[in-house]
Amino acid sequence: MDTIRINSEDMSCTAGTLRAGEKVLLSGPVFTARDAAHKRIFAMLDRGEEPPFPLSGATVYYAGPTPTPPGRPIGSCGPTTSARMDGYTPRLLSLGLKGMIGKGNRSQAVVDAIRRSGAVYLCAIGGAGALAAKCVTSLEVIAFEDLGCESVKKLIVRDFPLLVAIDCHGGSLFEAPV
């Protein structure tokens, strides 16, 4: 199977073409957000405020990078367990989020929301945060700096290796074929 090169800025157009099991090399901007950041983003949305980054067409990486070593743009940045964000995900997808990167299975509510919204869930290799860091060319903290590693960051990635885990056509690596 060939590897598909994707620019994250084209995720709105690309997500619907991807199929579970395909290998992807992702380049472009992605935003990190974990549990604490999701909670604050929801509070902002509930108050009628704009989130810290435009959700329409965006890709979120469930990661909390370690401190940045000298001469590098980022420390280790492996994926966190995506299921911890499942309570937030359907609403974010309904607001235009198109891609999510993490590890592990998702709830049925998230799978249904992925299908409805034409989005995609991509898995990164767990335990390989140092490898993922090599794909990051820049990092900018854009919100909630007080959360440290869980602040929202804008990363620019180049050729970040991922696997399509759940597609919007009903395909999933987490379910046995019927």
Q: Is residue 60 a part of any domain in this protein?
A: yes
Q: Is residue 28 a part of any domain in this protein?
A: yes
Residue 43 exposed, middle or buried by CB count within 10 Å (0-12, 13-18, 19+): exposed
pTM, to two decimals = 0.95
In tens, the pLDDT along 6-31 reads: 999 999 999 999 999 999 999 999 99
Q: Is residue 137 a part of any domain in this protein?
A: yes
Count of structural domains, the chain: 1
Residue 8's domain comprises 3-166
Q: Is residue 175 a part of any domain in this protein?
A: no
Structure confidence at residue 176 (pLDDT): 63
Q: Is residue 69 a part of any domain in this protein?
A: yes
Structure confidence at residue 44 (pLDDT): 98
Q: Which whole number is the average pLDDT over 116-143?
A: 93
Q: Is residue 176 a part of any domain in this protein?
A: no
The alpha carbon dihedral of 98, 159, 10, 149 has a sign of positive
Structure confidence at residue 143 (pLDDT): 97
State the DSSP string of 50-92: PPSS--TT-EEE-B-PPPPPTTSS-S--PBPBGGGGTTTHHHH
Q: Which two tokens stand for residue 83?
A: 């299921």
Q: Is residue 65 a part of any domain in this protein?
A: yes
Q: Give the CATH number of the domain where residue 101 resides.
A: 3.20.130.10
Q: Which whole number is the average pLDDT over 135-151?
A: 96
Q: Is residue 9 a part of any domain in this protein?
A: yes
In tens, the pLDDT along 40-87 reads: 999 999 999 999 999 999 999 999 888 888 989 998 999 999 999 999
